Structure 1
Amino acid sequence: MLELRRVDAGLMSRLSARTALLMTLPPLLWAGNAVVGRLAVGSVPPLALNFLRWALAALLLLPLGWHALRDPSAIAKRWKYLLAIGLLGVGTYNSLQYLALVTTTPINVTLIAASTPVWMLMVGALFHGEHPTRRQIAGALLSLAGVLLVIARGDLQALARIHFVIGDLYVLVAVIAWAFYSWLLARPPATMQPPQRPDWDWAGLLLLQTLFGLLGAGAAAAAEAAITHAGVQWNGWVVAALLYVAIGPSVIAYRCWGVGVVQAGPAMAAFFANLTPVFAALLSAALLGEAPRWYHAVAFALIVGGIVVSSRK
């Protein structure tokens, strides 16, 4: 029995390290997505960018997850769940994020997105009976402090000078949608749990989620085109940007996020999501040729400290 406990403890240790890596990669890729989305303003309409991103992602996933399409009856039986995670994770969240980048500033987007752990904990408490612990609350405050330090660039008085616009509301709705999406991944209905769940691997499930999400993303892009009459200005940079957002922030990041949420829980995953503004600051500094400042290191320590505090038992 003692040897079994030692083996289990070692397995949990490796599992925790693997989960931490899985939860760190998506914020890095999503930080790059925010930078690309901001640079794409003027070249690709925001809702069209989201639709093209996920249409290309679906084509990339098709050779990997096509087997999930072989049983239409299994899909029809679970269409409500697939539609929900598709609209929340592919349609609503990403559409609103790109739309917000047109009308608001990156500093405001980061500030509002920093409330993700709070919404994760609220959704868990209100709809899933998962009440936050003191450590989770303390971890959320530490992570939020780190994000605010990055946003203020080391000058906390700068936070008082921030002005909010309509794009900020888009980000708030997007964050709430992401909280519900993450909890649906971690707490699926009985038809999506063994033994009732079909034999779908990660690629098949993500493909189905993407196809259902494209229903909403496509409708939004069509409405955008009808109202604004704006089109895509095709060039080499736009093609490269679409390839990046379709492969990195979509296929790779969503795969890692899905596994990490199931293993660590939505609340824990939300703390890792707060690494996004830190990575965004570092990527922006690299693209602009500016060296990282002292507050980047302090903010990173605070955010990681929040992860450690909330995960300790």
Structure 2
Amino acid sequence: MQKRHERGPEPRASRFSALANEPRFLMLLPGLFWAGNAIVARGVAEEIPPIALAFWRWTVAAALIAPLAWPHLRRDMPTLARRWPTMVLLSALGISVFNTFLYIGAHTTTAINIVMLQTAIPIIVVLATFLIFRETLTGGQAAGIAASFVGTLILITHGDPAILSNLDFKRGDLWLLAAVVSYAVYTALLRLRPPVHGLSFVFVTFVIGALLLLPFYIAETLTSRPLPITPHAALAIGYVAVFASILSYLAYNRVVALLGANTAGLTAHLVPVFGIILAVLLLGERLYAYHGVGIALIALGLWLATRGSRA
């Protein structure tokens, strides 16, 4: 009898490919890293000028990802060059405008308002995809967005709807609202991205985004204050470059490709969830019943919106 060969451990490349095709896992990464981005944006608002933070975020991210993107970039560059208007538009909306406006808004608003306004991203994505592409929601997507949005409001209001009437909206919230609209339109338009490797796409958008910010960064440095050269500033830029940029955008763009813009936009509702988890683990804050209710509704919403979706 022929001896059967035992199956060895799964190759690392196969495990990575499996994760890259698992949208429910990928949706967790942007939510986690964007929660950290909101904390960093508010925490360094008095130290790092907003455009400087955005410019160096994308410049450092592009430099770090360049060695990985280069083998694919050589093959994809002709396609990217032919589609340059689309690349400039996506870079402006998703790279330059969104994060810069968020950082500007963080100077004159509160952390809770930053999170609150970002919860509108899924709804604006739905509106944008309908206006631009006439795409309508499925029943599961609509139910998922509704459940997730209610869960997010419960987290933000601590289970007390009266808190919404007491929110103090500031000038910075207008910047944040513009940022949210910009990112929602970016999400809707991602279906127009050139058919190139994900590393090539994010590298080129990072570079274009940084170049679009360069004149504004120079003007800010000359008329306001320069970027401080401190360990604190280096750590902040390092975090937003690696986690909130490279890893988040690779994961988010992949989720849009796998599930579509309407469902991918629900990633924004994971930001307060991970904000709470980080506060409990790192700051010793307490969990309350409304946390459980809100997180459960968000989890239900994600399940409803993604069930039946296949990579």
- The Cα offsets for residues 265-291 of structure 1, whole Å up to 9 and x where unpaired, read as 111111132111111122234443212
Question: Contact 1:24–1:272 at 8 Å: present in 2 too?
Answer: yes
Q: Which residue of 1 aligns with 2:225?
A: 230
Is 1:282–2:277 an aligned residue pair?
yes
Within the candidate set 259, 266, 275, 1:271 is matched to 266
Q: Secondary structure at the match of 2:47?
A: coil
Whether contact under 8 Å (1:90, 1:217) holds in the other structure is: no
Q: 1:263 to 1:158 in 2, by over 3 A?
A: same
CA contact (8 A) 1:111 1:151 kept: yes
How many angstroms does 1:264 deviate by? Answer: 0.7
Q: How does 1:11-160 map to 2 (within 5 A)?
A: 18-67=22-71, 68=73, 74-160=79-165
The answer to whether the 8 A contact 1:274-1:303 is kept is yes
Residue 260 of structure 1 is matched in structure 2 by 255
1:178-234 deviations in Å (ceiling 9; x for gaps):
11211222243xxx24xxxxxx4222211111111112222332232233x212222
**Contact persistence 1:142–1:306 (CA under 8 A):** yes
Query: TM-score, structure 1 length as denominator?
Result: 0.86
Residue type matched to 1:225 in 2? T
Identity within the alignment, %: 33
Give yes or no for contact 1:22–1:256 (8 Å, CA) kept in 2: yes
Matched, 1:203 2:207: no
Q: Is the 8 A contact 2:187 2:265 kept in 1?
A: no
Aligned counterpart, 2:208: 212
Asked whether 1:297 is paired with 2:301, we answer no
Paired amino acid for 1:96: F
- Report the 3-state secondary structure (helix = DSSP H, G, I; strand = E; otherwise coil) of the residue aligned with 1:299: helix
Give the SS at the match of 2:229: coil
Q: Give me the whole-angstrom Cα distance separating, in 2, the residues matched to 1:158 and 1:302.
A: 19
TM-score, reference length from structure 2: 0.87
CA shift digits 1:25-72 (9 cap, x unpaired): 111011011111111112211111011111100110111112426776
Aligned to 2:6: none
Q: Which runs of 5+ in 2 are unaligned?
A: 1-17
SS of alignment partner, residue 148 of structure 2:
helix
Provide the rounded CA distance (Å) in 2 between the counterparts of 1:16 and 1:307: 18
Q: Secondary structure at the match of 2:35?
A: helix
What does residue 8 of structure 2 align with?
A: none
* Total equivalences in the alignment: 290
Moved more, 142-151 or 73-82: 73-82
Q: Matched residues in 2 for 1:23 and 1:98: separation?
A: 23
Change (3 A) 1:41 1:287: farther
Residue 168 of structure 1 corresponds to 173
Tell me the amino acid that sits aligned with residue 205 of structure 1. F
Q: Is the 8 A contact 2:76 2:197 kept in 1?
A: no
Map of 1:251 onto structure 2: 246
Give how far 1:98 is off: 1.0
CA distance in structure 2 between the aligned counterparts of 1:65 and 1:312, rounded to whole angstroms? 32
Please tell me the residue identity of whatever aligns with 1:85: L
Structure 2 CA distance for partners of 1:116 and 1:41, relative to 1, 3 Å = same
Q: Which moved more, 1:217-226 or 1:70-79?
A: 70-79
